[in-house]
Amino acid sequence: MSMNKITGIVGGRERPARMRKLLIGALLVLSTIGGTVALATPQAQAATPAATTLRDRRGDAPARIDLTKIVLQRQGTKLLVRVHLRDAPRGNNQGYKIWLDSDRTPQKAPDYTMRWISQEYGSGRTTGWDVVTSPWNPYGVGRANLTINHRLDYFTFSVPMSDLKGTRNVRVAVSSFTMNAYGRRIAVDHLTARHKFSRWVHVASA
């Protein structure tokens, strides 16, 4: 019992040291990136726009693909796109597609897409509403990362702002679907409607 207590205390005291190590590691990583360090200054943080929530009707699709809200938020050098569902996605029979349109490009079509289908995810540039793929990755060759919260009902893509070509405002379209054993869609939900963009959302200051 006493050993457990001592271990607990030592563990508690050790934690700040470990945190410091992690912070130093993070700073080293940041300093190697070079140009992006400027974004970590207090001025730049103060200018970061607040999170924006875009809502979709609740109950218009099966729970695991039922989009309820999409939250867009700049975080340093990344844009976070968090997709909230009525229930946590599980299993292999769900797919999610997200498109981003930047205000810095003249085309009305999307510029960038992220997708998570079954166990695979990818991201990249678009041709119309399709992702530009490579022979090595049929889901795209962009640099967005996926974080899945299996316990809670959301997942998050983080997109490097550098992939968005200096965009100040983005708009987003989202769709989700369930598939049968042959990969055929059997239910679909869209953020409001198919291939319909949200309003423009401010994500970066000049």
Which residues contribute to the site for Ca ion (CB under 5 A)?
Answer: 56-57, 60, 66-67, 189
Toward Ca ion, which CB reaches closer, 56 or 111? Answer: 56
What pairs with residue 202 in β-bridges?
Answer: 169
SS (H, E, C) 128-189: CCEECCCCCCCCCCCCCEEEEECCCCEEEEEEEHHHHCCCCEEEEEEEEEEECCCCCEEEEE
Query: Which residue's Cβ lies closest to Ca ion?
Result: 56
Q: How far is the CB of 39 from Ca ion (least distance, A)?
A: 34
Distances (CA, A) of 30 to 23, 27, 76: 10, 5, 11
Q: How far is the CB of 68 from Ca ion (least distance, A)?
A: 6
Toward Ca ion, which CB reaches closer, 74 or 82? Answer: 82
CA distance 80 to 196: 20
Toward Ca ion, which CB reaches closer, 68 or 126? Answer: 68
Q: How far is the CB of 204 from Ca ion (least distance, A)?
A: 28
The token pair that represents 179 in the structure block: 């598939």
Q: How far is the CB of 70 from Ca ion (least distance, A)?
A: 11
Toward Ca ion, which CB reaches closer, 78 or 190? Answer: 190
